[in-house]
Amino acid sequence: MREQIEYLEGGALAAVLTPDMPDRTLDYRVPEGGARVGAFVSVPLGPRRVKGVIWGPGAGDYDLSKIRQIGAILDVPPMSPLMREFVTRVADYTMTPLTAILRLATRVPGLGDPPGKRRIVRLTDQQPSRMTDARERVIAFLEEHRGMGFAPSELAALVGVTSSVVKGLEKQGVLRSEDAPRDAPFPRLDPDLPSKDLSNDQNNAATTLREAVRSRTYGTTLLKGVTGSGKTEVYLEAVAECLRAGRQALVLLPEIALTGAFMSRVEARFGAAPAEWHSGVTQAGRRRAWTGVAEGRVSLVVGARSALFLPFTDLGLIIVDEEHDGSYKQEEGVLYNARDMAVLRASLTKGQVVLASATPSLESWVNARAGKYARIDLTERFGAAVLPEMRAVDLRIDPLERDSWISEPLANAVQKRVEAGEQSLLFINRRGYAPLTLCRACGHQVGCDDCDARMVEHRFLNRLMCHQCGATKPIPTECPSCGNADHIAALGPGVERLAEEVERRFPDARMAVLSSDMTMSARALKQRIDEIAAGGADIVIGTQMVAKGHNFPLLTLVGVIDADLGLQGGELRAAERTFQLIRQVAGRAGRADKPGLAMIQTHQPEHPVIKAILGGDEEAFWRAEAAERQQAGVPPFGRMAGIIVSGPEERETFDLARALAARAGILTQAGAQLFGPAPAPVARIRGRTRVRLLVKAPKGLALQSLLSHWVRDVVPRPNYRIAIDIDPQSF
Ligand code: ADP
Ligand code: ZN
């Protein structure tokens, strides 16, 4: 696609946007020879030099003699008008300063630095004069990564020491410094290597997607296919077509732990590895990928949500895999939903979006029903594999014994699998040992000192932990409230406690626990998952993370320990989430030649959500959910924003929220509604009180401009904040 290029003459004024400044551009004089709008530049800012982007012509409406000159134009491809428009639109949509979005789009270390300026350090044979704990850790890390060089600042960050430790080791000759090697070129991906033989359904789906890609227009397709139906094989054919068309493609994945297995699959299809983009990629790797994408040398990126902000020159296709996944919504800093922003980006670049899921979000289901998205269904598993049988275990009929969470029917089914050499997965969506530490004498519940949350017992830490802020404290031996030492008890099951029961009941079985709070590196985690897939465990116990696309071919039984858990709390989204989660987990069973069984422990098998999970009419479930949302006027039928007011003092925080509420007239006159203030879903984090207001508006309303008009005149005092969350996840 040809884009218009805007030049600024030497001596003209340029408005430069830099991530190092609050939300405004600064004017600088363009050096001799001129510069392109969009160029990356280095400019003086006070005593510092910072990097930025020429955002447009300067205004020059003040003392021109004070204006400084752009220091240097960096050797980086300029940011395209389309990319600048994307950055602007995301900023407008999320009501975030432009500079914050620019930071997302330029988060590359050493951007534009000449190669000679980049250094790496390596380990030598020299011993330090004196060993300290920090030094030892640096050396151990480098020994573990033999042969690899790291930028000094990166090394310090990775090991968790200050950069002076690295400097010290360098001075003593323990580390040797050298110029960073030139970036290796990217191998070409070959879309014409033979693909797998697709089934009829897969073939039809692939043909439709290929045509869409060839159209070079914007469009979004919901690819809804049961787990194991071969969605990945299908969308890789769309990627192949995109590569054939000479355009770039992006595959977004929700869980970086999965990228390893996924990368091998992509490599097998195209004969070379694509570029990767996520927090586990080294600084050098990220710079190489970023530059490769900007120069159009990278044709395919596989990455986490932030890959959406890479400087693609001609993005023809974005795949959002497991599009329903909550982790696409960034909940800190810039609050954006990568799925929605992918649609925005593709509409700008005239590209296609494929949203793939076995359990789509209600939003996407509704958009497909309304004809905004195309929809393709894959209803059968690929090959001989059949969908698992879904069976409820009614806990009113088969009650649990005291301090036991596995019913007899489930225990028997596990036992059978163990004897047959097949795998079982027991799923519980609760980290830690026990969710509640309670004094049975006085009823006191041990909570976090800084948050409105109970402390969760973790046996492997031998401490209580707050899942909001991560604070820990010792497990009390007596009640902190009444002093009684005999009645303090851990109540309810967590993944660790379930593991304890499994050990007790199946002493001869090999057990593996997969929980997101087990401090494991991505690599170690991938290794563990590979071991399990190869048959290295008989019983796998896991939290939410096992729900996501792992492929365990020997797994024939899935037990959901507490299906009712997610249905409490009265949130409108609870049903959707529970359905997605349990369906995804159940989908792990029986992927290869053996049929699978999913057993769902519940106290309310007649609940509509549980019934839908058990294989009722799924479309009817979605229709009912949609009707309920429509009735309530909430997304996707209405618009919504959460306003989180936070601050150190509870009274003042509420006062600030009430000051906003007092101006509700601005909202109601425009046809919106205000709810609250009320304590936020997490009412206190890290000692800060959080109060939430919810704004609900009809679809056609320009919500963002209304909100900014509403909050504009309420200026919080220092240390108090008003944060706006467009399309909040929970309501
Ligand atoms: P989904 O993404 O829908 O869960 P996958 O694409 O991961 O499904 O496919 C499930 C399994 O079936 C994988 O092991 C995959 O390699 C295999 N598979 C899917 N389609 C084919 C095909 N056409 N030929 C051979 N194997 C296939
Ligand atoms: Zn806490």
Q: How far is the CA of 591 from the centre of ligand 1 (A)?
A: 10
Q: Structural domain of residue 426, as residue ranges?
A: 389-433+493-627
Q: What's the pLDDT at 2?
A: 44
Report if residue 192 sits inside a domain: no
> Looking at the structure, do residues 441 and 428 belong to the same domain, yes or no?
no
> Looking at the structure, do residues 290 and 363 belong to the same domain, yes or no?
yes
Q: What's the pLDDT at 320?
A: 97
Q: How far is the CA of 613 from the centre of ligand 1 (A)?
A: 23
For residue 550, pLDDT beyond 80: no
> Looking at the structure, do residues 96 and 218 belong to the same domain, yes or no?
no
For residue 115, pLDDT beyond 70: no
What value does the mean pLDDT of the chain take?
Answer: 88
Q: What's the pLDDT at 503?
A: 94
Cα distance between the two ends of the chain = 41
The rounded distance, in Å, linking the Cα atoms of 708 and 539 is: 53
Q: Whose CA is nearest to atom 23 of ligand 1?
A: 198
Q: What's the pLDDT at 708?
A: 92
> Looking at the structure, do residues 355 and 423 belong to the same domain, yes or no?
no
**Which numbered ligand comes closest to the C-alpha of 226?**
1
Please indicate if the annotation marks 466 as binding a ligand.
yes
The rounded distance, in Å, linking the Cα atoms of 245 and 57 is: 35
Beta-strand (E) ranges in 403-552? 423-427, 436-439, 455-458, 463-466, 472-474, 488-491, 511-514, 539-542
Q: Whose CA is nearest to atom 15 of ligand 1?
A: 230
For residue 524, pLDDT beyond 90: no
User: What is the domain count for the chain?
Assistant: 6
Among the ranges given (127-136, 212-221, 517-526, 597-606), the one the predictor scored with the smallest mean pLDDT: 517-526
The stretch 15-44 carries a mean pLDDT of 90
Instruction: State what percent of residues in the chain have pLDDT above 70.
Output: 94
> Looking at the structure, do residues 410 and 459 belong to the same domain, yes or no?
no
| Tokens 């997965």 belong to residue | 425
Report if residue 682 sits inside a domain: yes
**Which numbered ligand comes closest to the C-alpha of 359?**
1
CA distance to 209, 307, 473, 511, 567, per residue, from 353 (Å): 10, 15, 47, 40, 32
Q: How far is the CA of 323 from the centre of ligand 1 (A)?
A: 18
Q: What's the per-residue H, E or C state across 532-576? A: HHCCCCCEEEECHHHHCCCCCCCEEEEEECCCCHHHCCCCCCHHH
> Looking at the structure, do residues 158 and 222 belong to the same domain, yes or no?
no
CB 505 within 8 A of CB 487: no
> Looking at the structure, do residues 324 and 371 belong to the same domain, yes or no?
yes
Select from 195, 197, 232 the residue to mutate for testing ligand 1; criterion: most ligand atoms less than 8 Å from CB: 232
Q: How far is the CA of 249 from the centre of ligand 1 (A)?
A: 20
Q: How confident is the model at residue 122 (pLDDT cuts 50, 70, 90)?
A: confident
Q: Whose CA is nearest to atom 20 of ligand 1?
A: 230
Which atom number of ligand 1 is nearest to the Cα of residue 231?
3
Q: What's the pLDDT at 456?
A: 85
CA distance to 474, 489, 582, per residue, from 615 (Å): 45, 38, 12
What are 677's two structure tokens?
């203030």
Q: Whose CA is nearest to atom 18 of ligand 1?
A: 230
- CATH number, domain with residue 47: 3.40.1440.60
> Looking at the structure, do residues 442 and 421 belong to the same domain, yes or no?
no
Q: Whose CA is nearest to atom 6 of ligand 1?
A: 230
**Which numbered ligand comes closest to the C-alpha of 354?**
1
DSSP of 282-297, one letter per residue?
-HHHHHHHHHHHHTT-
pLDDT tens string 401-452: 888 999 999 999 999 999 999 999 999 888 888 888 888 888 888 888 877 7
The rounded distance, in Å, linking the Cα atoms of 558 and 424 is: 6
> Looking at the structure, do residues 265 and 355 belong to the same domain, yes or no?
yes
pLDDT tens string 296-338: 999 999 999 999 999 999 999 999 999 999 889 887 788 999 9
Please indicate if the annotation marks 242 as binding a ligand.
no
For residue 1, pLDDT beyond 60: no
Report if residue 383 sits inside a domain: no
Q: Whose CA is nearest to atom 21 of ligand 1?
A: 230
What are 385's two structure tokens?
């594999």
Report if residue 583 sits inside a domain: yes
| Tokens 């120069």 belong to residue | 295
- CATH number, domain with residue 249: 3.40.50.300
> Looking at the structure, do residues 25 and 61 belong to the same domain, yes or no?
yes
Q: How confident is the model at residue 3 (pLDDT cuts 50, 70, 90)?
A: low
Q: How far is the CA of 464 from the centre of ligand 2 (A)?
A: 11
Which atom number of ligand 1 is nearest to the Cα of residue 225?
3
Report if residue 175 sits inside a domain: yes
Q: Which of 326, 284, 283 is nearest to 305 (CA)?
A: 326
Report if residue 190 sits inside a domain: no
Among the ranges given (226-235, 498-507, 512-521, 588-597), the one the predictor scored with the smallest mean pLDDT: 512-521
The stretch 59-85 carries a mean pLDDT of 86
- CATH number, domain with residue 721: 3.30.70.600
Question: At which of 600, 627, 654 does a domain end?
Answer: 627
Q: Which of 560, 276, 545 is nearest to 431 (CA)?
A: 545
Q: How many separate helices (H) and strands (E) can be counted in the chain?
A: 20, 31
Q: Give one word for 289, left, alpha or beta, with left for phi > 0 and alpha for psi -120 to 50.
A: alpha
Q: What's the pLDDT at 302?
A: 95
pLDDT tens string 467-494: 766 778 888 888 888 888 888 888 878 8
Q: How far is the CA of 357 from the centre of ligand 1 (A)?
A: 14
Please indicate if the annotation marks 469 as binding a ligand.
yes
Question: At which of 565, 595, 627 does a domain end?
Answer: 627
Report if residue 23 sits inside a domain: yes
The rounded distance, in Å, linking the Cα atoms of 420 and 155 is: 48
Q: Whose CA is nearest to atom 10 of ligand 1?
A: 228
Question: At which of 564, 599, 627 does a domain end?
Answer: 627
> Looking at the structure, do residues 608 and 572 belong to the same domain, yes or no?
yes
Give the pocket of ligand 1 (CB within 6 Å).
196-199, 202, 225, 227-233, 382, 551
The stretch 527-534 carries a mean pLDDT of 85
pLDDT tens string 698-717: 998 999 999 999 998 888 89
Q: Whose CA is nearest to atom 17 of ligand 1?
A: 230
**Of 370 and 279, which is predicted with more confidence?**
370
The rounded distance, in Å, linking the Cα atoms of 377 and 260 is: 27
Q: What's the pLDDT at 117?
A: 65
**Which numbered ligand comes closest to the C-alpha of 224?**
1
Select from 251, 266, 382 the residue to mutate for testing ligand 1; criterion: most ligand atoms less than 8 Å from CB: 382
Helices assigned H by DSSP within 390-437 = 408-420
Q: What's the pLDDT at 360?
A: 94
**Which numbered ligand comes closest to the C-alpha of 684?**
2
Report if residue 591 sits inside a domain: yes
The stretch 499-525 carries a mean pLDDT of 81
> Looking at the structure, do residues 346 and 208 belong to the same domain, yes or no?
yes
Q: What's the pLDDT at 89?
A: 96
What are 320's two structure tokens?
């959002």
Beta carbons within 8 Å of 100's beta carbon, 6+ residues apart: 19, 23, 91, 333, 334
The stretch 457-464 carries a mean pLDDT of 80
Across 163-167, 329-333, 659-663, the highest mean pLDDT is recorded for: 659-663
The stretch 111-121 carries a mean pLDDT of 73
